[in-house]
Amino acid sequence: MAKLYFSYAAMNAGKSTILLQASYNYRERGMRTLLFTSALYAEMDDGQISSRIGVRAEAELFKAEDDLFAWVAREHEAAKIDCVFVDEAQFLTRAQVWQLARVADRLKIPVLCYGLRTDFRGALFEGSAELLAIADSLREVRTICHCGAKAIMVLRRDASGSAATSGEQVEIEKDVYVSLCRKHWEDEMGRGP
């Protein structure tokens, strides 16, 4: 039975690297994969999933208005798809998460989603919230804080280097983010005791 999977983590945990390795494993066995990433990254990588260690692959760019079930069904009809991979899954809409669940349930194609759980304010992203609610399998990919503890939070720095406490949920520039444990995130955000 095909399933909907969600692997989540803070920034720089290696989610994209894991996705690219898994897709490579399918292709190495003669299977076809379909890769998606958010169109929010189009200006940076122009339709590619890339990891910090230099591995990259071409990917389809999804937008909030795209019907991912219809997209995958069209591709599958043209040539069999063995697995669907979604990077930056936090940017999926609730409807798109359900569309991907239908890909697993009705087209019998496994769907593996990778993304952040929470934003810099500690709030769930829409796509992540829905994936946490309905995915068949959840997996936390771990990374560490500067103190060595498990990092589960993402902090965004403003132009002065201080912790941003407000602003738009999405800021595409990756180098303004740092992964922290909850204690250090709370301290940086000024929420500590």
For residues 54 and 17, is the Cβ–Cβ distance under 8 A?
A: no
Instruction: Quote the CA–CA distance of 97 and 103 in Å, as a whole number.
Output: 10
Q: Which of 88, 126, 130, 188 is catalytic?
A: 88
Task: Tell me if residue 58 is catalytic.
Answer: no
Count of C-beta atoms within a 10 Å radius of residue 61? 16
Instruction: Quote the CA–CA distance of 81 and 66 in Å, as a whole number.
Output: 19
Catalytic residue list: 88
